[in-house]
Each structure stands twice: as C-alpha cells, then as structure tokens.
Amino acid sequence: DGGITQSPKYLFRKEGQNVTLSCEQNLNHDAMYWYRQDPGQGLRLIYYSQIVNDFQKGDIAEGYSVSREKKESFPLTVTSAQKNPTAFYLCASSMEGRVYNEQFFGPGTRLTVL
Amino acid sequence: QKEVEQNSGPLSVPEGAIASLNCTYSDRGSQSFFWYRQYSGKSPELIMFIYSNGDKEDGRFTAQLNKASQYVSLLIRDSQPSDSATYLCAVPGAPGRRALTFGSGTRLQVQP
C-alpha cells in the first residue's frame, strides 16, 4: 500500500533533550513538508523540501532541523532550543510539477515535553 | 490580517440537514483551494479541491468558489453523525512556496 508513515505515534521528551521524528513515504512524491498543530489551531509550516538535498524554512523553523538525503525520507529533529515543543506534528507530501498542489498527510506524531 | 479565515464553530446541524462551512482568503492571486477533514486526534484528510469559479460536486460534498469575493465554501448534504469533525480550508502559500496555508478550521457537530 502506498502512503506516508510517521513514527513514533507518541513521543515524550525531557527538558533539554533533542528528539527526531521519522517520516517516510512510498508515493514517489518529490515534495515533503512538516507542520505543527496546537490544540484548536490550524497547521503551521515548519520546514519543506521540494527536492532531495534541499529544504527551506517555513513560518516557525526556529528550534527545528531537517534533512532530506533520500526522496522517501524527511526526518524532523526537535532541538532543545524549541521552547514549547508539545504539539501534534504532521508530515505531508505532494507531487511536484502539478499545477494544483494536493498534499497528503501521514498519521502524525504527538510530542509531549515532560 | 490572517491569510485564511474560518469561523471556529462549533457549527451544529441536525442529521440530514445541509452543513455550510465558509472560508475567506486574503491573496487574490490564489488559484486553488482545498478542504480537509480532520477527526479528533487524527491527521487531515483531503476531501475536495476547487480551482474554478462556481461549484464542484463530489457525492454529498459541494465546494463553491467565488474569487471576486475571495470566498470558498463547503456544503455537506444529508449530514451524518460521521461527518462530525473539524474542516480545514487551505490555499497555496506565497509564490514559489508550494506548501499550503491553513485556516484554523471549523468544528462541525451533526446531531443524531
């Protein structure tokens, strides 16, 4: 089955710890995205990548880092510099070269800081 | 001004009624518009997209776009309790940025 997988589903972080969220897709999509969602709010863009080995900051990139070494994978690291990381993290992907950019989402990772 | 605005709700409708969800956007250059459904605790699911003025129908869902008024809506006919969810409106971001910009969503409650 084609799709987007994220792991883990739930993640607990201690203060001062870096954690990495995994996102993998087998849809052969070129572009991948990371969004953050806080309770009762919409999605805010953290980082996105339109091609391997290239990525751009979104609206709330501070305290986060990403890499895009493979087309299928776009891991997100939440660093200790992110002061309020408790949120629902969503990875998405889309096909480049399409006029209308439909994005499809993975199941999400819920991160809690202890 | 927020780029995409939605009434947070909750919008409560009886089972079988038509639910009308609305979204306004600020960028007159936006060409395509997306509606996602998000159940509590789950990720968003794409249900409709529209890029031409007028209506687009898919089953019980109809998306309506009015570019002159910068307004897009989603109608759900014969609403079911299973339609109870948050509906997110999204538009493409700034030119050159392919990521979508999302509204904060409208929570719909369909009463049995």
Residue pLDDT, tens place only, A23-37: 999 999 999 999 999
- Output B59 or B98, whichever has higher pLDDT: B59
Which of B44, B49, B99 lies closest to A100 in CB terms?
B49
**Looking at the predicted structure, is the pLDDT value of residue A73 above 90?**
yes
Q: Is B68 on the interface with A (CB under 8 A)?
A: no
Q: Do B98 and A94 touch (CB under 8 A)?
A: yes
Name chain A contacts of B90, Cβ cutoff 8 Å: 103
Where residue B53 falls among pLDDT bands split at 50, 70, 90? confident
Do B7 and B103 meet the contact criterion of CB atoms below 8 Å apart?
no
Residue to test with chain B: of A43, A44, A99, most B Cβ within 10 A:
A43
Where residue A102 falls among pLDDT bands split at 50, 70, 90? confident
